[in-house]
Structures are given as structure tokens and as C-alpha cells.
Amino acid sequence: MRLTCSLAVAAISVLTPAAAFATNGYFSNGYGTISKGMAGAGSALSQDSIAAATNPAGMAFIGNRIDGGFEVFSPRREYSVEGNPAAPGNTFPLAPGTYESSKNGFVIPHVGFNRELSDTMAFGVSVFANGGMNTDYQGGNGGPFYAGRTGVNLEQLFIAPTWSWEFSDDQAIGISPVIAYQRFEAEGLQSFAPFSSDATALSNNGTDDAWGYGYQIGWQGEITDTLRGGVSWRNILEMGEFDKYRGLFAEQGDFDIPQMFNAGIAWSGIQDHWLLLDIQHIRYSEINSVGNPLIPNLQTAQLGDDNGAGFGWDDMTIVKLGWQWQQTPGHAWRAGVSYGENPISDEDVLFNILAPGIQEWHFTGGFTHTFSDELALSAMAFYSPAKEVSGPNPLAPNQTINLEMYQVGVSASLGWTF
């Protein structure tokens, strides 16, 4: 327990005050430098003590080790508006032009520990983070919604103590009670006060935070001599409410974290090579504050009500393909590509000026270099090409809103075996 608390404090202490968008909606495209070097694949092949973030059962196969590292992440986000704001029928027009979100560089940490308790059981702790729904638009032309500087910031930290059991030769199950912490801030949304159930808890109330809990379970094991498999499921993480923003988020400030499924295979039929295929499914639509559409909900309920408007995000299914080549006993190369259709439809672009989680393709590469029997350095880089989503302003039908973002990032971590 002392180790768990120490890891949590260390992770919280380095979680920057303005984390960034992760890449599949607001979830990261992978956790840990090794997995991210293969576009987040790893449900069937675990290699470090961050593995519980993807599949807790994988902790049974990694031995005694400690891992820690950071990702430096740069999302470039902008929106543009076309159309006359003074046209008849407009109830909430926006100022035409193109506007970029500032604060384009962020640091996201991860740290993990695993220890074998016996020949068949292990205990570990994985600490990892999501950025999420971060934007910061300056107040030029009154700001996006005529209330000055505007943006939101959501950060999420996960602490996953994990017990894993190799119940048969190369067959394991694992379970992680997941402790979640998140914090949120919004500013520049005062113009939505007529739509809110509590205008005093809508915007510009500083940072609010909440703790929550859930669990993740998984299986990983050998199918044939050259094929491994793995599956995992994490339930909805029940979070405390953001009371300072109960007039913004549906269900009086509720912002639970959606359930997630992972499944994958890993094939080693070519000497010194692994090919990985993962499928991940994230159920954003089950969380009202995220999945409720803007229209018609804004017309039938107030912001903050149970059926209040949200961001209109759909569920995401992401396919990840990874490759690893053990060039020498001390050096491995990795590459990966993933695709998932973005969760934002063209009908929901207005509110998603604040949260343009629209990325679809991700291309990654990485390596691990072993310096000794105990110490190894892993690194990776990724690129997510520009994606655009365009649609009408539902409160000013003659206007068109275009969202655009691309992303780049690098990560490095040290692994220590003992």
C-alpha cells in the first residue's frame, strides 16, 4: 500500500496543469512507451509494468520490474467559421474567421511496478493518465462565444493495483481495482447561461476535481506455439460529480469514464518478429455528459439536467496493427498504425469547438535498447495527420463550422528489472 501511494503521489505531482487531448476521442492511443510504439497494440503481448492499462493479465508474464517515463505531446487545434452572423434566423451566430487554440505542448507521465509473489502469482501497480478535452482560445473578437478567453481542460489519472495469476502453463487472468482521479475547468461559456439549469455553476469557477473507482479484468495466454491472445474489459468508472460545473454537464455535473473493451492476437511465426492486431471499443455514448447530442437536447432540457446537452460523441472502435523486430538480443525496433472513426458527427461541431477529439489515423515507431541485464531504454514517436469535420451551426443555420487538428508526440521510458 505504501508503494501504491508513493506511485500515485509521484504521478499526480508531474501531471501538468494543462494536459492535452489524447488521440482516440479523449483516451490515449496506448499506454506505456513500448505499447505506444506499436500504435497501442499489446492486449496479447505485455512487455512492461504499464501493461495493466491494456490487459491486467499481462502482468503475469513480465517478471519483476519497474518502469517510468513521459510523453511529450503536441496537438494543433483550430476552428473556422463561414457565413454572415447577421443573417435572419440566427439565434447564436459566431464571428467568422479562423481561430487557433494555444498551449500546444504537454507532458503526460506513466509509471509502473510489478513483483512476482510466487511461480504463478504477481502483484503490481500501474499509474497512467489521459489528457482530454483541452482547448484555450484567446479573447479576440470576443472569444468563440463572446465571453472572452474560452476553453476547457480535463485531466484524468488512473491507479491500477493488479493481481495476476498464471493458472496454467502460459495462461493467465488478472484483475485491477481502478482508482481514478480527474479535474476539470471551463471558462468563456457565460453566453450559454440562458440554456443552463444553474448559471452560477456553468463557467469560470476554477478547477474542480473528483475521485472514482471501477475495475478491469483480463485474460492472456498462448493459443498455439506461435500465436498468443488476450482480452480485457473495464467497466464504467463511477466518478464523483463536478459540483462547480453542475450547470454545464448533464446529470448535475456527472462525468463518469466510459467502459472499454480490448482484444488482440500476437503472432511470432517469423523468427525474431512479432505481428500484433488489437481491437479496442470505447462506449462514449453511455455517458450522458459526453454522448448526449447538442440538438435536440438543448431545446428540450437545460444544461446540467439529466437529459441536458452534451458533446454528442459516438462510440469508437479502433483497429491497431503493430510490428516488433528483435534485431539483436539488446535492441528491438517497433512500428504501428491504428484507425478509428472519429466520434464527432457534423451535427455536433458547435459544442466541440471546445473538444475537437476528431483524430482517426495514427502512425508510430519506436525501439528498446538494453544496456545491461537490468536496464533498458524505450522510446517512440507518433504522428496523427490532420483531420477535419465540418457542419452547420445549429443555432445559426447559414453558418458552417470547420474543426481541424493534427498531432505529434514522443515518449521515452526506463525499465529496470530485478
Q: CATH number of the domain that 257 lies in?
A: 2.40.160.60
Please give the model's pTM, rounded to 2 decimal places. Answer: 0.93
Contact present, 206 and 244 (Cβ < 8 Å):
yes
Q: What's the rounded Cα separation, in Å, for the pair 85 and 88?
A: 9
Instruction: Report the alpha-carbon distance of residue 133 to residue 405 in Å, rounded.
Output: 13
DSSP designation for 189 = -
Q: Read off the DSSP letter of residue 108.
A: E
Whether 25 contacts 199, CB under 8 Å: no
- pLDDT at position 14 is 45
* pLDDT in the model for residue 131: 67
Q: How far apart are CA 106 and CA 28, in angstroms?
A: 13
Beta-bridge mates of residue 43: none
Per-residue burial over 26-49, b if 16 or more Cβ lie within 10 Å, else e, is bbbbbbbbbbbbbbbbbbbbbbbb
| Per-residue pLDDT, 163 | 98
Cα–Cα distance for residue pair 377/35, rounded to 1 Å: 14
- Domain containing 50: what range? 2-417
Geometric angle at alpha carbon 7, from 56 and 333, rounded to 5°: 55
Q: Which residue has the cell 465540418?
A: 390
Among all chains, which residue has been given the C-alpha cell 488521440?
Answer: 23
Backbone CA torsion sign across 146, 85, 346, 297: positive
- Provide the number of structural domains found in the chain: 1
- pLDDT-flagged residues of the chain (< 50): 1-21
pLDDT at residue 339, as a whole number: 98
The SS3 call for residue 76 is: strand
The cell for 265 is: 492476437
Nearest to 338 by CA among 323, 357, 326: 323
CA 159-164-166 angle, to 5 degrees, is 165
Say if residues 29 and 382 touch (Cβ distance below 8 Å). Answer: yes
Q: What is the residue-wise DSSP string for 282-300? A: E-GGGSHHHHS-STTHHHH
Degrees, nearest 5: CA angle 410-19-12:
100
Report the alpha-carbon distance of residue 188 to residue 143 in Å, rounded.
7
pLDDT of residue 22: 58
Which phi and psi angles does 297 have, rounded to 5°?
-60, -35
Q: Dihedrals φ, ψ of 391, to 5°? A: -170, 170
Contacts of residue 269, defined as CB under 8 A and 6 or more positions apart, other chains included, come to: 226, 227
Do the beta carbons of residue 181 and residue 154 sit within 8 Å? no
b/e 368-389 (16+ beta carbons within 10 angstroms → b): bebeeeeebebbbbbebeebeb
- How confident is the model at residue 132, as a pLDDT? 53
